[in-house]
Amino acid sequence: MNKTVMINGVLTSLEEAKISVMDHGMLYGNGIFEGIRIYNSKIFKLKEHIDRLYTSAELLGFEIDISKEQFIEDVIKTAKSANYKDAYIRITVSVQSYIDLSTPEYSINRVIILLDDDIIPEEKYAKGMSLVKIDRRRMPTVAIPMRAKTLNYLNSILALKDAHAKGGDDCVMLNTDNFVAETSASNIFYIKGNTLVTPHPDAGILVGITRNAVLDIGVMLGMETKEELFGIEDLLNADEVFLTGTAYEIMPIRQVYDQQFSIPGTKTSLIRKMFQEYIIEHAITF
């Protein structure tokens, strides 16, 4: 069996990987994670992902028990453990303590999983996705720090179920102030003229690594880039709409509510092409 899982610094197989049932990630969702892509034996934005991981831990009030440098070394060691040219790395860090909610004393479980990459077929990008309206709202930051990438994804899971029940691929999630936040698990952008717009972090979003890369690409293309609070009408009146994320990269949107968009959008297609070049420049060989 391939040793493609590292638990607290020790490589093991997916079949033999184990952590305690007292882990608060399993019991209460008290933990954080990152998803990272390997392209052609190069890890994309590894440092940025690890930086966000440690920021998430700080927002949840616990400390990761090794340095960032050691964590990066562990990720690279895990990536080398199998001969995957293209792969997905899932990092989970969770608190282990007692059955109660309080964790005055705790240990940390660090899990790194290497999975053979399941590349999204090009036909899906050619077709694009539809986003439907749902009643469920994005969890407010005053309840949970949405800038942390936590294991508590129930809000997103239920939102995606709502979307599928209405026949959509995904949904537009508004925050409690009626501003556009995200979809169930992706950042969202729209293009109007030569302006590229995405929700401001204050909308209660997770600030995505791919999102930030697209903002860089927008500047490179000479577009005016904005992070701002906006409502659904701005999205419906856009020229092009797309999603960003580690799995989707840049996914065109063909429909928001009843509004149809041309697929593929000219500028979205250009951003997708530029992103492939961006990956080469911002990935490390292991």
Query: What would the two tokens of residue 249 be?
Result: 């990269």
- What domains sit in the chain, N to C, each tagged with a CATH number? 5-116 (3.30.470.10), 122-281 (3.20.10.10)
Taking a C-beta distance cutoff of 8 angstroms, is the pair 52, 98 a contact? Answer: no
- Is 285 buried (19+), middle (13-18) or exposed (0-12) by CB count in 10 A? exposed
pLDDT tens string, the chain, 286 residues long: the values are 688 999 999 999 999 999 999 999 999 999 999 999 999 999 999 999 999 999 999 999 999 999 999 999 999 999 999 989 999 999 999 999 999 999 989 999 999 999 997 778 899 999 999 999 999 999 999 999 999 999 999 999 999 999 999 999 999 999 999 999 999 999 999 999 999 999 999 999 999 999 999 999 999 999 999 999 999 999 999 999 999 999 999 999 999 999 999 988 999 999 999 999 999 999 999 8
pLDDT recorded at residue 83: 84
- Read off the pTM: 0.95
Query: What would the two tokens of residue 165 be?
Result: 């029940």
Taking a C-beta distance cutoff of 8 angstroms, is the pair 248, 186 a contact? Answer: yes
pLDDT recorded at residue 117: 78
pLDDT recorded at residue 1: 65
Q: For residues 121 and 125, give the distance between their C-alpha atoms in angstroms, rounded to a whole number.
A: 7
pLDDT recorded at residue 118: 73
pLDDT recorded at residue 143: 92
Amino acid letter at 262? S
Q: For residues 152 and 159, give the distance between their C-alpha atoms in angstroms, rounded to a whole number.
A: 13
pLDDT recorded at residue 264: 84
